[in-house]
Amino acid sequence: MTRPPTVAQRRVIDAADPVTGRLKGTEAQLAALVKRGLAFRHPRPPHDHFLTPAGHRIREAPEATAAPEPPAAPADSGVFTARIGGEESAVDGPSRTREVHSAWQGLLELRRMTHRDGAVDRPCGWERTHLVQAAALALEAAGHRPAAAEGPGYRVRATPQPEAVAVREPDAEALRACAATLEKAGWQVGEHTEPRTGARYVLASPRRA
């Protein structure tokens, strides 16, 4: 069985950018993660380090799996979260716009780095394991408005189907626009009707090729 990362290594992993997996840490920490297959060093300058799929799995695992080590200073806990719709409170403005733009550009870079052909027109592994967040980021980055606690706007939710999310938007035209955005972002989309309510919604899955 592979030895779990140390507490210090786990802190570096947990502090990784939630979208791109970009890491910050000492050279020794980053080199140790690379050696264990939890990170890789980008071949192009500035040679940043990023989580591998195995590193992402560690990041999502309970912290109790970390091996004992003397406590260290806590890492930066700032985490970007795309709006899936229905949040109780949300702050809008130029800073949010910049955060969303940066997160989307980071996701495109992650696609380029993790696809063998360098393609950015289809979802990557991270998106397949974070379906709701990935779809919501694509919508928010394209300027669609997420729903507040009540009222109009998109809502992205998980579904029982593997690799599929449901996008709901009470305005039919806005729903079609959401579908077009996801299709452009590399998702397969289809419009469906709720059997009981008759409400229309979009079912979206990451395209593989």
Residues of the chain with pLDDT under 70: 1-3, 61-79, 90
Residue 154: its pLDDT value, please? 96
Phi-psi domain of 24 (left: phi exceeds 0; alpha: psi -120 through 50; beta: other):
beta
Residue 14: its pLDDT value, please? 86
Residue 189: its pLDDT value, please? 97
Residue 147: its pLDDT value, please? 93
Backbone angles phi, psi at 32, to 5 degrees: -65, -40
Non-local (6+) Cβ contacts of 172 within 8 A are 200
Q: What is the pLDDT of residues 200-209, one digit of tens each?
A: 999 999 998 7
Evaluate whether 39 touches 27 at the Cβ level (below 8 Å). no
Evaluate whether 68 touches 108 at the Cβ level (below 8 Å). no
Evaluate whether 146 touches 139 at the Cβ level (below 8 Å). yes
Q: In this structure, are strands 155-158 and 39-41 parallel, antiparallel, or unpaired?
A: unpaired
Residue 7: its pLDDT value, please? 81
